[in-house]
């Protein structure tokens, strides 16, 4: 039977000229198999992914069809209609890229070495893209910003500002398109006409959540909508968990702005650590449940505390670049005083006038030394003197 007849799929290599690609190096037959796998197998299914990585996608497909991974997958494969999938992809102007293509981000290969998280894992068989941008180029300098859907005004403001400033520094902002922190991150990048990538837990043509449909259109116009799931696929809990690994693997680092102790953002953080990415967290109020996970990650040494884009850039940039100067409090007029002069100055009261003898006694120096230092302090404008005595004019 044909791969496109809507019934049994045995040889997904026919009519391959219709499969959307970027004209790069992957063999057409392999591309077709990977496309079929993306339609049949749930994203991040570790068992199938392991076979595809070790023996190739054709071997993985053969085992799917043969029922090696269960009758459910075999049944789904038997009813796959790739013509229908490709027609839907064409309507949404979606394209399919696979390992070896110019648009494929090599960084995703790190998922091969990550342990499973909540029974998800592995390199995706391929990615569906909607939008004009080049995925590999966007991912080269990118940072993921994730957090709670029930974000506080504080978290929303922080995520928006971080995303906007990262975009102004030439970094792509990656997030998941959900309400809350994700939305703020995408909007922050778009506000400064910067690139942003939304990685979805559904098909690139499915607007979920529906309230963000307009946002997805903007992202598709200025950046990319990305999914490992075929067009038309709707979200589910397991698909969100699988999606999180892609967000973490695509970026140079992940910033968690707000996250409850039990949250998808914390799942993304686990993937970032597993992929060897820099994990960063923004502190919040100790009374805010939305910052419970960020504080815990900082406390456990899993995440680096960040409060500004400068700190994020220092962590994700190459060694020796974007270094932040040592920060200290505001300077005081007394900072440059040597120990003797400082001792004399501190012996001078600010609210009354005293004689040089009392100052010398309080400072533990001789009278000549006290007079010499008081004269220098007067020139510096730190003390004044009249017929009554000396008084400090700068608060300590």
- Structural domains in the chain, CATH included, are 91-316 (3.40.50.450), 339-392 (1.10.10.10)
CB 152 within 8 A of CB 287: no
The DSSP output letter for 382 is S
Reported pTM: 0.81
Whether the CB-CB separation of 89 and 128 falls below 8 Å is answered with yes
Structure tokens at 9: 């799929």
CA 153 from centroid of its chain's CA atoms: 19
For strands 127-130 and 95-97, give the pairing.
Answer: antiparallel
Which helix H or strand E contains 64, and what residues bound it? helix 57-65
Residue 292 and residue 272: Cα distance in Å, rounded?
18
Nearest-angstrom CA–CA distance, 264 and 236: 13
User: In Å, how far are 250, 263, 394 from 74, measured between CA atoms?
Assistant: 31, 33, 82
Give the model's pLDDT for residue 263. Answer: 86
Query: Hey, what are 223's tokens?
Result: 């950046």
Give the residue from 213, 208, 313, 296 showing the smallest Cα distance to 260. Answer: 296
Backbone phi, psi, residue 199, to 5°: -100, 120
Tokens read off for 293: 């996970």
Name the residue among 181, 196, 195, 336 with its Cα closest to residue 260.
181
Radius of gyration of the chain (CA): 30
Give the pLDDT confidence score for residue 6 in this predicted structure: 31
Q: What is the C-alpha separation between 214 and 194, in angstroms, rounded?
A: 17
Alpha-carbon distance of 74 to 66, in angstroms, equals 7
E strands, the chain, are: 95-97, 127-130, 142-146, 172-175, 196-199, 224-227, 253-256, 278-281, 304-305, 383-385, 390-392
Residue 331's pLDDT is 77
Predicted pLDDT of residue 328: 64
**Could you identify the residue written with the tokens 């004044």?**
384
**Of 186, 187, 181, residue with least CA distance to 148:** 181
Phi, psi of 383 (to 5 degrees): -140, 160
- Which residue is associated with the tokens 């060694």? 319
**pLDDT in single tens digits along all 396 residues of the chain:** 233 233 234 444 434 444 554 433 344 588 999 999 999 999 999 999 999 999 999 999 999 999 999 999 999 999 999 889 999 999 999 999 999 999 999 999 999 999 999 889 999 999 999 999 999 999 999 999 999 999 999 999 999 999 999 999 999 999 999 999 999 999 999 999 999 999 999 999 999 999 999 999 999 999 999 999 999 999 999 999 999 999 999 999 999 999 999 888 999 999 999 999 999 999 999 999 999 999 999 999 999 999 999 999 999 987 556 666 666 667 788 888 999 999 999 999 998 999 999 999 999 999 999 999 999 999 999 999 998 899 998 665
85: left (phi over 0), alpha (psi -120 to 50) or beta: alpha
Q: How far apart are the first and last CA of the chain?
A: 88
**β-bridge partners, 391:** 384
Asked if 116 contacts 42 with a C-beta cutoff of 8 angstroms, the reply is no
Position 176 scores a pLDDT of 98
| 120 close to 249: Cβ distance less than 8 angstroms | no
């Amino acid at each position: 039977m044909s791969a496109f007849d809507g019934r049994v799929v045995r040889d997904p290599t026919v009519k391959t000229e219709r499969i959307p690609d970027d004209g790069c190096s992957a063999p057409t037959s392999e591309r077709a198999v990977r496309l079929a796998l993306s339609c049949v197998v749930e994203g991040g299914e570790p068992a199938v992914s392991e076979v595809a990585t070790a023996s190739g996608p054709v071997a993985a497909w053969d085992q799917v069809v043969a029922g090696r991974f269960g009758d459910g997958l075999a049944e789904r494969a038997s009813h796959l209609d790739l013509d229908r999938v490709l027609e839907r992809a064409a309507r949404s102007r979606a394209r399919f890229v696979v390992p070896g293509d110019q648009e494929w981000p090599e960084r995703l290969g790190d998922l091969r070495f990550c342990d499973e998280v909540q029974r998800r894992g592995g390199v995706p068989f391929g990615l569906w893209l909607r939008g004009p941008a080049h995925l590999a180029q966007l991912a080269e300098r990118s940072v993921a910003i994730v957090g709670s859907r029930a974000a506080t005004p504080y978290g929303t403001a922080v995520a928006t500002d971080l995303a906007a400033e990262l975009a102004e520094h030439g970094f792509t902002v990656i997030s998941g398109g959900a309400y809350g922190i994700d939305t703020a991150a995408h909007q922050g990048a778009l506000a400064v006409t910067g690139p942003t990538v939304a990685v979805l837990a559904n098909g690139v043509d499915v607007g979920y959540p529906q309230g963000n449909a307009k946002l997805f259109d903007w992202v598709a116009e200025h950046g990319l909508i990305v999914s490992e799931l075929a067009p038309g696929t709707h979200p589910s809990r397991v698909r969100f968990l699988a999606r999180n690994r892609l967000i973490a693997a695509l970026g140079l680092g992940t910033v968690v702005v707000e996250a409850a102790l039990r949250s998808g953002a914390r799942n993304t953080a686990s993937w970032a650590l597993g992929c060897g990415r820099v994990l960063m967290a923004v502190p919040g109020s100790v009374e805010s449940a939305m910052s419970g996970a960020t504080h815990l990650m900082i406390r456990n040494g899993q995440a680096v505390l960040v409060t500004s884009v400068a700190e994020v850039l220092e962590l994700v940039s190459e060694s020796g670049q974007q270094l932040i100067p040592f920060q200290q409090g505001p300077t005081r007029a007394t900072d440059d005083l040597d120990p003797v002069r400082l001792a004399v100055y501190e012996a001078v009261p600010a609210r009354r006038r005293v004689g040089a003898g009392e100052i010398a006694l309080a400072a533990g120096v001789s009278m000549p030394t006290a007079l010499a230092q008081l004269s220098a302090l007067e020139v510096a404008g730190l003390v004044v003197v009249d017929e009554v005595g000396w008084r400090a004019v700068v608060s300590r």
